[in-house]
């Protein structure tokens, strides 16, 4: 039985493997990484097969998931391409900003490519993964890729041209960043740290969760929570005047720019 193989045993591999095991995925999972300690931890905690040899890991693969940082992708794929005994398999790159033509250039047929952008919330089965497929990837292979990621959360398919903007928009870092900022702002005004955390988490998480579970338009909920002339409206207006939207657009633009730098590697 061919395995699901992860090349790179870092943060996102740990999240995905953990989510797959939570979903009772019982198929063989092989992880290759250059740090034996990372392999030992993944083996102990998630019952993966640790494979320190790159070519043996690739040999074992049906799905080959490339989970190294973008600046490591080229050397890794070139190293794989030097190996003689290659057979058809499905390559799935998680590398932010790394386009399909690059992947095909460094490691072409019989490897056929998909890109996936998963969330670390896959660890708890609450992920969201964007997928995009190379034109030469057959429909059966696409189904296999969708099926794997749907075990750890929702899956959507995007045109590759939207991938970078999706990547910088869906990151859970937005929520954590906003939470940390709101807590710090409340503490600076003298609110007890525990109360500030409770209040900020309610503000950011509870309303949005309730909105997702219902069908009220977002605008209506904003109106409901912010009485005209009241405190919440004063806060929102002051934040908008200080450039709230502008800051978000600048943040996303910087992220997209960073992702596009990976295209040039
Ligand atoms: N973290 C996320 O939430 C997330 C979400 C979606 C997509 N991604 C993408 O997933 C990829 C991995 O991200 P990550 O956060 O998991 O990175 P990470 O924690 O740094 O893990 C990557 C691992 O791969 C190892 N590695 C790199 N090149 C290797 C090689 N040639 N042979 C063997 N091992 C090698 C790294 O070792 P060294 O540290 O020595 O290089 C490291 O242990 C990135 O391309 C990122 O864009 C990440």
State the pLDDT at residue 1. 66
CA atoms of 5 and 63, how far apart (whole Å)? 6
Q: Determine the Cα angle at 38 with ends 31 and 146, to 5°.
A: 35
State the pLDDT at residue 87. 83
Residue 170 main-chain phi, psi, to 5 deg? -85, -5
Partners of 4 in beta bridges: 29, 63
State the pLDDT at residue 262. 78
Kindly indicate the confidence band of residue 85, based on its pLDDT and cuts at 50, 70 and 90.
Answer: low
Q: 64-73 pLDDT, tens per residue?
A: 999 999 999 9
Topology of domain 3-169 in CATH is: Rossmann fold (3.40.50)
Locus of tokens 């749907």: 150
> Best of 6, 9, 12 to mutate for ligand 1, by most ligand atoms within 8 A of CB?
12
Mean pLDDT of the chain: 96
Q: For ligand 1, is residue 34 a contact (CB within 6 Å)?
A: yes
Q: Which two tokens stand for residue 153?
A: 């959360």
> Best of 34, 38, 91, 96 to mutate for ligand 1, by most ligand atoms within 8 A of CB?
34
Nearest CA, atom 19, ligand 1: 10
Q: 184-220 pLDDT, tens per residue?
A: 999 999 999 999 999 999 999 999 999 999 999 999 9
What is the dotted CATH code of the domain comprising 173-261?
Answer: 1.10.3730
3-state DSSP assignment of residue 255:
helix
Q: Tell me how far the alpha carbon of residue 72 lies from the centroid of ligand 1, in angstroms.
A: 8
Residue boundaries of the structural domains of the chain: 3-169, 173-261
Cβ atoms of 199 and 191 closer than 8 Å: yes
State the closest ligand 1 atom to the C-alpha of 38, by its place in the atom list counted from 1: 43
Q: 111-168 pLDDT, tens per residue?
A: 999 999 999 999 999 999 999 999 999 999 999 999 999 999 999 999 999 999 999 9
Q: Verify cis geometry, omega within 30 degrees of 0, for the bond prior to 110.
A: yes
Distance, C-alpha 169 to centroid of its chain: 11
């Amino acid at each position: 039985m061919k395995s699901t193989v992860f090349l790179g045993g870092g943060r996102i591999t740990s999240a995905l493997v953990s989510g797959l095991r939570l979903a009772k995925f019982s198929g063989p999972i092989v992880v290759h990484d250059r740090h034996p300690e990372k392999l030992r931890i993944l083996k102990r905690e998630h019952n993966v097969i640790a494979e320190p040899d790159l070519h043996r890991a690739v040999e074992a693969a049906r799905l080959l998931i490339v989970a190294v940082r973008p600046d490591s992708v080229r050397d890794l794929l070139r190293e794989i391409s030097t190996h003689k005994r290659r057979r058809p398999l499905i390559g799935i790159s998680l590398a932010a900003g790394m386009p399909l033509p690059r992947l095909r250039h460094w490691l072409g047929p019989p490897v056929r490519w998909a890109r996936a952008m998963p969330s670390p919330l896959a660890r708890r089965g609450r992920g969201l993964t964007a997928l995009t497929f190379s034109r030469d990837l057959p429909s059966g292979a696409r189904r296999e890729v969708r099926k794997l990621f749907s075990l750890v959360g929702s899956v959507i398919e995007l045109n590759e041209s939207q991938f970078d903007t999706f990547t910088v928009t869906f990151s859970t870092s937005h929520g954590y960043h906003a939470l940390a900022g709101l807590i710090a702002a409340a503490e600076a005004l003298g609110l007890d740290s525990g109360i500030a955390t409770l209040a900020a988490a309610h503000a950011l998480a509870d309303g949005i969760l309730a909105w997702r579970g219902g069908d009220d338009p977002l605008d209506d909920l904003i109106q409901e929570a912010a009485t005209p002339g009241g405190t919440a409206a004063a806060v929102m207006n002051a934040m908008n005047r200080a450039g709230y939207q502008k800051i978000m657009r600048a943040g996303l633009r910087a992220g997209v720019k960073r992702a596009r730098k990976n295209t040039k590697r």
